[in-house]
Structure 1
Amino acid sequence: MWLLSVLLLPVIQGSPALMAVSDAVSGPVRGSLTVQCRYEPGWETYNKWWCQGAELKSCRILVQTDGSEREARGDRVSIKDNQKLRVFTVTMEELRWNNADTYWCGIERYGPDLGVKVKVTIDPVTEQCHYSPGWETFMKSWCPDADLDTCTIFVETTGSEFKVNILSINKKKHTFFMITLGE
């Protein structure tokens, strides 16, 4: 009986089989972020996954391992398991505003999967643009994409000087800058 109580001790104390190194992470727009999730011995060859959504039972899996240490890739997201260290790493790249959400590190198993919540936020970014003298009265716009032919304009000014909470124009210095704020 004594041996049984010693074997059950970690479960009784509530030691988690899976935990995120941090329960909240952030990264800049167009940048990247990394999340590490640690697991207890015995889960090395199980599939690990990363999903998005407020509830674990209904979240959408974005990327998943195949039980090996091979890196798996999805759309701007990758996952790699280090079974020796018992940690898997998720990397999200080319972050966008709509990436701010609740995510889950998880381990697939028979019955309900193991999962731990991670809150992802996107950091504000300040963009400053310079223009030459003589362009003070022309319309100015800011587009976050590299391809000007297909970009979506986030902010457009009129030719007159004005300030709002996300855009500031300084005609004397011939600059305008935009602070991109989260939702």
Structure 2
Amino acid sequence: MDFTFHLFMLSFSVSGAILTGPAVINGSVGQSIIIRCKYNKHYSSSPKYWCKGDNREDCVILVKTQHSRKTNSDGRITIETDNDAGEFLVMMDRLTKNDQGMYWCGIARFLWDLLSPVELNVIEDPKVSLSGSPAEEEVLRQNSMCYFIWSILRWFFFAILLIWAILIKLKI
């Protein structure tokens, strides 16, 4: 393996390829929702987007921004970026039953976009409770813990890859 590969792996391990959004969001027909997608500030200058599709390969971009705010052509979906907070907000207005489905918070990158899935449930009766179930809250807590552990472990991987790259370069 050459030194370039090691540098690539090193930079990947430190970049903290993290993008999170809510696992599930609930809304009512005719109402509005806000989805908060948090990202590593390393990606502040990268374009952010909101897309819909069952998987990452068929995800159709609905709104995308390189700057602070952008609204889609029908005016129902707006994306607003706050690089200082390391997050972007997606606002969806006048929900319809057809809006229900799988969405993705996205950050455009050179080789492989970062994506975080968000399932949107739209109900017709706004009187039905939309609060998250204990199971959904537990999933969110576990995801947060995984990202916290990864934020620590990546530095250990970084040190190991750095030492390995130096040893290979020195041929020890």
- Classify the TM-score, shorter chain: 0.5 to 0.7
- Aligned equivalents of 1:114 and 1:16: distance in 2? 7
- Aligned equivalents of 1:84 and 1:41: distance in 2? 8
- In proportion to residue count, which structure has more strand? 1
Give the residue type in structure 2 aligned to 1:109.
R
Deviations 1:146-165 (A, max 9, x none): xxxxxxxxxxxxxxxxxxxx
> Paired residue for 2:111?
111
- Aligned equivalents of 1:126 and 1:103: distance in 2? 21
Give the residue type in structure 2 aligned to 1:37.
C
Give the residue type in structure 1 aligned to 2:67.
S
> Paired residue for 1:57?
57
TM-score w.r.t. the length of structure 1 is: 0.59
- Aligned equivalents of 1:113 and 1:89: distance in 2? 18
Q: Does 1:81 align with 2:76?
A: no
How far apart are residue 96 of structure 1 and its match? 0.3
Give the residue type in structure 2 aligned to 1:91.
M
- Aligned equivalents of 2:17 and 2:98: distance in 1? 30
TM-score w.r.t. the length of structure 2 is: 0.62
Aligned to 1:98, the other structure's residue is in SS state helix
User: For 1:147-166, what aligned pairs fall within 5 Å after superposition?
Assistant: none
Aligned to 1:42, the other structure's residue is in SS state helix
Cα 1:126/1:85, change in 2 over 3 Å: closer
Q: Contact between 2:28 and 2:123, CA under 8 Å: does it hold in 1?
A: yes
User: For 1:90-129, what aligned pairs fall within 5 Å after superposition?
Assistant: 90-125=90-125
> Paired residue for 2:70?
72
Percent identity between the aligned chains? 29
Cα 1:46/1:126, change in 2 over 3 Å: closer
- Aligned equivalents of 1:11 and 1:33: distance in 2? 34
- Aligned equivalents of 2:31 and 2:123: distance in 1? 10
> Paired residue for 2:19?
18
How far apart are residue 104 of structure 1 and its match? 0.2
Aligned to 2:43, the other structure's residue is in SS state coil
Give the residue type in structure 2 aligned to 1:97.
K
Deviations 1:21-66 (A, max 9, x none): x11001110001110111112100110000001011211100000x
CA RMSD of aligned residues (A): 2.5
> Paired residue for 2:160?
none
- Aligned equivalents of 2:46 and 2:23: distance in 1? 22
Deviations 1:96-122 (A, max 9, x none): 001000000000010121100000001
Structure 1 residues without counterparts, runs of 5 or longer: 128-183
- Aligned equivalents of 1:25 and 1:84: distance in 2? 24
Structure 1 residue runs of 4+, over 4 Å off? Answer: none
Q: Contact between 2:17 and 2:114, CA under 8 Å: does it hold in 1?
A: no
